[in-house]
């Protein structure tokens, strides 16, 4: 039985091949950090209920339907009960910049890693900068599953004609493979993204994602931005974004955009 934290559900889905260990749960699509007895939103998955409701990194979730917020048990029964789909509408009170606001949303019922995987495609964006276009993709979750590679191939095909690209590896989960890497650097006769790249990394960039960042950073046209990873990978351009900053803007993304704007 999985219980306790969202990280435990995500880790179970990543490390076990058994479907009964990849337990589904009701969730709203956030990563959270415990702070002073409450929880602060650390990341919001693209196309998730939290994303649609406008939750932002740095929001402090105070309560859900009038009860203290818990990332798992606000939307699921406590063990030994097993989570079942619950599509009710929930009222969340969140604190942002010292002000409280109410948001209403309904959770999704899913294997948590599947939600990470599903967030990759809707993360893709293109930004006009004069007569140039900068692309963006956040690799929330990818696996060795052939479908994940097909999805990423389709995403990169849509971004191939951009002038430069931001690859966001914050909170990335999964198993980035040589096949994924081949979409970004030379690999025989295969097509790959050949324009300047900015990588965004921070303390949540671990495991395969960190290795992926190191491999991409070898390229002369790639520049890493953000903060050091747990494995000791230090970006060329240090741009801190402490969670307690509680700002709706993303200084690491903005630095990546500014860097590429100067290169193209």
Q: Are 26 and 109 in contact (CB under 8 A)?
A: yes
Homologous superfamily of the 6-113 domain (CATH): PDZ domain (2.30.42.10)
- What are the tens digits of pLDDT across the range 149-186? 999 999 999 999 999 999 999 999 999 888 899 999 88
Answer yes or no: same fold for 6-113 and 119-263.
no
Domain ranges of the chain: 6-113, 119-263
Across residues 194-208, what is the average pLDDT?
96
Residue 247 is predicted with a pLDDT of: 76
Average pLDDT of the residues of the chain: 92
Least confident of 3-17, 146-160, 245-259: 3-17
- pLDDT at residue 19 tops 70: no
* H helix runs in 126-172, sequence order: 146-159
Q: Which tokens is 24 given?
A: 């589904």
Q: How far is CA 222 from CA 75, 219, 258, in A?
A: 41, 5, 14
Residue 144 is predicted with a pLDDT of: 85
- What are the tens digits of pLDDT across the range 103-127? 999 999 999 999 999 999 999 999 9
Q: Are 139 and 119 in contact (CB under 8 A)?
A: no
Across residues 4-20, what is the average pLDDT?
81
Residue 77 is predicted with a pLDDT of: 94
CATH fold of 119-263 reads 2-enoyl-CoA Hydratase; Chain A, domain 1 (3.90.226)
Q: How confident is the model at residue 37 (pLDDT cuts 50, 70, 90)?
A: confident
- DSSP class of residue 155 equals H
Q: How far is CA 199 from CA 34, 59, 137, in A?
A: 27, 25, 10
Q: Which tokens is 132 given?
A: 């140039």
């Amino acid at each position: 039985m999985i219980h306790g934290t969202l990280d435990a559900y995500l880790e179970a889905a990543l490390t076990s091949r058994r479907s009964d260990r990849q337990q589904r749960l009701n969730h709203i699509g956030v990563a959270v950090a415990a702070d002073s007895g409450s929880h602060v939103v650390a990341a919001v998955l693209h196309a998730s209920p939290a994303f649609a409701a406008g939750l932002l990194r740095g929001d402090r979730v105070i309560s859900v339907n009038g009860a203290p917020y818990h990332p798992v048990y606000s939307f699921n029964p406590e063990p030994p009960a097993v989570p079942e789909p619950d599509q009710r509408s929930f009222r969340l009170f969140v604190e942002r910049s010292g002000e409280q606001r109410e948001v209403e949303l309904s959770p999704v019922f899913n294997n948590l890693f599947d939600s990470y995987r599903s967030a990759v495609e809707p993360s893709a964006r293109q930004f006009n900068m004069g007569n140039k276009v900068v692309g963006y993709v956040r690799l929330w979750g990818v696996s060795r599953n052939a479908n994940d590679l097909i999805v990423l191939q389709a995403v990169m095909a849509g971004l191939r004609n951009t002038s430069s690209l931001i690859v966001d590896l914050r909170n990335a989960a999964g198993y980035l493979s040589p096949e994924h890497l081949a979409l970004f650097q030379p690999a025989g006769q295969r097509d790959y993204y050949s324009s300047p790249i900015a990588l965004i990394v921070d303390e949540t960039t671990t495991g395969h994602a960190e290795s992926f960042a190191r491999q991409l950073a070898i390229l002369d046209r790639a520049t890493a931005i953000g903060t050091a990873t747990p494995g000791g990978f230090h970006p060329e351009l240090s741009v801190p974004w402490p969670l307690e900053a509680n700002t709706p803007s993303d200084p690491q993304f903005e630095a990546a955009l500014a860097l590429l704007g100067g290169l193209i």
